[in-house]
Amino acid sequence: MTEITLDIVRHGETFLNTLNRAQGWIDFDLNDHGRQQAAATGEALKERDYRLVVSSDLKRAVQTRDIIIQHLLHQPQQVYQDPNFREVFFGYYEGLPSDMNWRVIAQQHGYQDHDDIIRHESLEAGRNMMHDMDPTGQAESYEHVAARARAGMRQILKKSHDGDHVLLVTHGTFIRTIADALGADTVGNFPTNAGMTRVDVTEKHIKLIEYNHKFSD
């Protein structure tokens, strides 16, 4: 049975991140600070021997991936991008202020904000509330995001050897969903730009080792 260690890094900062807007599938470049964050993470990980490096196909993830690779002392044998690792798609709420989105959704269900939903119900409940309230019907449900994550990880396992270290560069809400499914407390603890979450993965299970390790401000 193949078992790998997967280092999951969130992309560096973008302009929309500085405005705290729901970025989703909007395809923004890294800003200067985001490139510096990616470089700091690359420097911190430079001695890791990643046989395989994977990213979302959105520009901010690809750019972060490539900056990190530039710092690695051992160059990966395979590099590819997979749309399964895109950020959660927020549908109607894409590009709008995140706090406003969640205030509107939460108050319709008797809560104050997103963290209040998670405390009283769950992250899954909040994701599904957004899905149900989206007038376009396009915001992803929790299960749809989880299914994408499983599909992407199956592809990584197919391309990996037992004992490999693999680097995955993806997105904040996507990482938060994985961590939540594995039992992490994510209330008030959103993945930082260019921060890392680590999991062990086999065909039968995924185990959370570390959530939201920060390499830079």
Rounded Cα gap, residues 33 and 15, in angstroms: 10
Domain parsing of the chain, residue ranges: 4-91+140-213
| Domain range 4-91+140-213, CATH architecture | 3-Layer(aba) Sandwich (3.40)
pTM: 0.96
Per-residue pLDDT of the chain (217 residues; tens, 9 = 90+): 899 999 999 999 999 999 999 999 999 999 999 999 999 999 999 999 999 999 999 999 999 999 999 999 999 999 999 999 999 999 999 999 999 999 999 999 999 999 999 999 999 999 999 999 999 999 999 999 999 999 999 999 999 999 999 999 999 999 999 999 999 999 999 999 999 999 999 999 999 999 999 987 7
What are the residue numbers of the active site? 11, 87
83-87-93 Cα angle (round to 5):
125
